[in-house]
Amino acid sequence: MGLIQNVLAVIVVLGLLITFHEFGHFWVARRCGVKVLRFSVGFGTPLWSRRDRHGTEFAVAAIPLGGYVKMLDEREGPVDPAERHLAFNNKTVWQRIAVVSAGPLANFLLAIVAYWALFVAGTTTVAPVVGSVAPDSPASQGGLTPGQEITAVQGAAVRSWEEINLKLVSAIGESGALEVAARDDTTATSRTYRLPVEDWLVRQDPPQPLATLGVTPWRPEIPAVLGQVVEGEAAAEAGLRAGDEVVAVSGEPVADWMAFVDRVRESPGETLEVAVRRDGERRTLSLTPRRRPQETGEAIGYIGAGAEPVAWPEEYRREIRYGPLAAVGESLSRTGEMTVLTLGAIRKMVVGLISPSNLSGPITIARIAGDSARSGFESFVSFLAYLSISLGVLNLLPIPVLDGGHLLYYFVEVVRGRPVSEQAQAVGLRIGLALVGTLMLMALYFDLMRLW
């Protein structure tokens, strides 16, 4: 069932992103007087198609990993002299720039609309309150203490752990100190703390900013009571049921749910004697956690069970909501922030500050799309917006075969006053194909390594 949900989620996500991207090209091409021959979502044999009154074929193809808008162009085949004025190659350089840039811009517009909808609908998060601080960690050395609420990172206001993580990740590679503002629950005034760092998160795979700082978020105490048990997994096979309260593992008392999780994670393949209280009676079951490989090469224990939900205290809940007009500014700001973060990540990956193993391909996208869909509307829309921004940024990179490569040629044409030669474009095409193909193979390789 999880695999089916992942596949459906990634089809929906990629379908929306591709359709918006290609519609951007299509819409502007029509306004610039270019004849569009085909608008295809997907590659390969069309599963469905129809033509409109302008002669454009709209198609949905079998391979949903891309799409294209085919325009009338003398470089791709003979053109009727009566239609030469409709050919893309005969348009002005500024019209060609507009058509090519419209695809990535459509992806940014989709992200803005998605964030706007989230801000208007409102999102609920939890206050970023520090639960514990590891001894001798940067947070401890900087003076942060448990119970404080973090209000800003590097001078930018934050309202959730998600925003904090984004700010911390954007600072990868910095040395010196990270500025973190926090306040005690007894005062409304924040104080700035300087947390010492050296080559912050450089080549850490994957980046773990909070753990590296030595900060553990506060969470309410969760009793060791099972809320759900997945059929076919270790917990179900051992006879555990929803509602069971775990009281001891191999003779050691269990204080709360996290203590039970820690014991399971550190015992892959090891048989544990789990004492539970069920219907007022105590009974002991044999539980053998299955091995789950991690990206670090180590394995952790996994049993396929979740805790019974616990409500967060109202004073720790934060609702973020804006009116329709205010949400426009916030959505533009969030899109700009995520765009800068994406560009920064690409730059840092090129110079070696971020490991290339952070590249993700279709398998990881499918998994995250499925997880976000199961987590609810807010998570799914946030993932859709970020992926749309990533697609827009990547397509604007000055690499031949991408939109950015074509834009590079056209801007050179603006400066030189004449088009880039076909020979130079052919060489660039081969280089671009090799580069993009290499990146795709690397992303697929790291996808498979995550699965193993």
Summarize the confidence of residues 97-115 as an average pLDDT.
97
**Residue 186, pLDDT score:** 65
- Strand, helix or coil at 299? strand
Residue predicted with more confidence, 201 or 284: 284
* Confidence grade of residue 90 (pLDDT, cut at 50, 70, 90): very high
* Confidence grade of residue 221 (pLDDT, cut at 50, 70, 90): confident
Least confident of 30-39, 325-334, 344-353: 344-353
* Confidence grade of residue 405 (pLDDT, cut at 50, 70, 90): very high
The alpha carbon dihedral of 184, 138, 300, 378 has a sign of: positive
**Residue 87, pLDDT score:** 95
Q: What is the pTM of this model?
A: 0.81
* pLDDT tens digits along 222-268: 899 999 898 889 999 999 999 999 999 999 999 999 899 999 999 99
**Residue 200, pLDDT score:** 87
Helices first, then strands: H and E counts in the chain: 12, 18
* Confidence grade of residue 378 (pLDDT, cut at 50, 70, 90): confident
Q: Does residue 47 carry a pLDDT above 80? A: yes
The CA distance from 446 to 194, in Å, is: 36
Summarize the confidence of residues 332-357 as an average pLDDT.
88
Summarize the confidence of residues 182-205 as an average pLDDT.
85
Query: pLDDT over 70 for what percent of the chain?
Result: 97
* Confidence grade of residue 56 (pLDDT, cut at 50, 70, 90): very high
Summarize the confidence of residues 263-289 as an average pLDDT.
93
The CA distance from 286 to 237, in Å, is: 9
For the chain, the average pLDDT equals: 89
> Residue 281 corresponds to which tokens in the numbers above?
């009676």
**Residue 4, pLDDT score:** 73
**Residue 452, pLDDT score:** 62
* Confidence grade of residue 399 (pLDDT, cut at 50, 70, 90): very high
For residues 129 and 349, the answer to whether their CB atoms sit within 8 Å is no
Q: Does residue 403 carry a pLDDT above 90? A: yes
Query: pLDDT over 90 for what percent of the chain?
Result: 58
Summarize the confidence of residues 35-47 as an average pLDDT.
91
The CA distance from 423 to 184, in Å, is: 66
The yes/no answer on whether domain 130-217 falls in CATH 2.40.110.20 is no
The CA distance from 410 to 418, in Å, is: 9
Is the bond preceding residue 128 a cis peptide, omega within 30 degrees?
no
Please report how the helices 324-350 and 93-121 are oriented relative to each other, as an axis angle in degrees rounded to 10: 120
* pLDDT tens digits along 153-166: 999 999 889 889 98
Which run of H or of E encompasses 109?
helix 93-121
Name residue 61's beta-bridge partners. Answer: 46
Q: Does residue 297 carry a pLDDT above 70? A: no
Summarize the confidence of residues 54-72 as an average pLDDT.
89
Q: Does residue 2 carry a pLDDT above 60? A: no
Contacts 24+ apart (CB under 8 A), 274-277: 274/238, 274/240, 274/246, 274/248, 274/249, 275/246, 275/247, 275/248, 275/249, 276/240, 276/244, 276/245, 276/246, 276/247, 277/244, 277/245, 277/247
The CA distance from 271 to 84, in Å, is: 76
The CA distance from 123 to 160, in Å, is: 11
**Residue 1, pLDDT score:** 47
Instruction: Give the number of other Cβ atoms within 10 Å of residue 77's Cβ.
Output: 8
β-bridge pairing 149-153 and 156-157: antiparallel
State how far Cα 303 lies from the chain centre. Answer: 27
The CA distance from 163 to 209, in Å, is: 12
| Domain limits, CATH 2.30.42.10, in the chain | 130-217, 226-308
**Residue 339, pLDDT score:** 95
* Confidence grade of residue 201 (pLDDT, cut at 50, 70, 90): confident
* Confidence grade of residue 134 (pLDDT, cut at 50, 70, 90): very high
Which CATH topology does 226-308 take?
Pdz3 Domain (2.30.42)
The CA distance from 367 to 363, in Å, is: 6
Does the active-site annotation cover 83? no
Summarize the confidence of residues 317-321 as an average pLDDT.
87
Backbone angles phi, psi at 65, to 5 degrees: -115, 25
